[in-house]
Structure 1
Amino acid sequence: MLKGKQKRHLRSLAHHLNPIFQVGKGGVNENLITQVEEALEVRELLKISVLNNCGEDKNDVAEEIAAGSGADIVQIIGNTIVLYKESREHKTIELPK
């Protein structure tokens, strides 16, 4: 679980990032979760865009993806979800204590 100071730091790092995944009318599936896990291992921090034609609520989508990939939800702003998961091999982000 991330603390407030850590979330603030991650939000500042994620500000310039573009979403690399989109959740549309297909919703969240096993393939999406697998790809998110792989991307998180390489990047640690990423954005996911929830499209307007997605039938699910963006908060539910964020919870599903975070639970499936073992990531922490940093922020949900508009239709964009920011996720963080510490990488085992490619650690680049140093969180404040």
Structure 2
Amino acid sequence: MLSSKQRAALRAAANPLEPVFQIGKGEIDDTLTAAVADCLAARELIKLKVLENSEYSAREAADILAEATGADCVQVIGRKFVLFLKKKKDSDFDAILAKAK
């Protein structure tokens, strides 16, 4: 669980990121969940976008994917949301999280 200061630091780090996945008409299935999990394992912090024709709101999609991947939902704004999953070792965000405690 992230503290509010850690969440704020991660929001700042995610600001310049472009969405790496778009969630459209289809359901959030195992394939999408696995792809998001792989991306989180590689990058730790990712931004996703929910298209207007999707049956999910950004909050619903964020909650579903966060639960399925074990990630923390950092932020939901409009149709975009940010997920964070810290690596077990050699995290790029250790300094940011330690500073924000």
TM-score (norm 2): 0.91
Aligned length: 97
Q: Which residue of 2 aligns with 1:86?
A: 86
Question: What amino acid is aligned across from residue 21 of structure 1 in structure 2?
Answer: F
Identity of aligned residues (%): 38
- Alignment partner of 1:73: what SS? strand
In 1, distance between residues paired with 2:24 and 2:39? 19
- Alignment partner of 1:41: what SS? helix
Contact 2:49-2:58 within 8 A present in 1 as well:
no
- Alignment partner of 1:75: what SS? strand
Structure 1 residue 88: Cα displacement: 2.6
Q: Which residue of 1 aligns with 2:62?
A: 62
- Alignment partner of 2:63: what SS? helix
Structure with the largest fraction of helix: 2
What are the ranges of 5 or more consecutive residues in structure 2 without an aligned counterpart?
none
Q: Which residue of 1 aligns with 2:39?
A: 39
TM-score (norm 1): 0.94
Q: Which residue of 2 aligns with 1:71?
A: 71
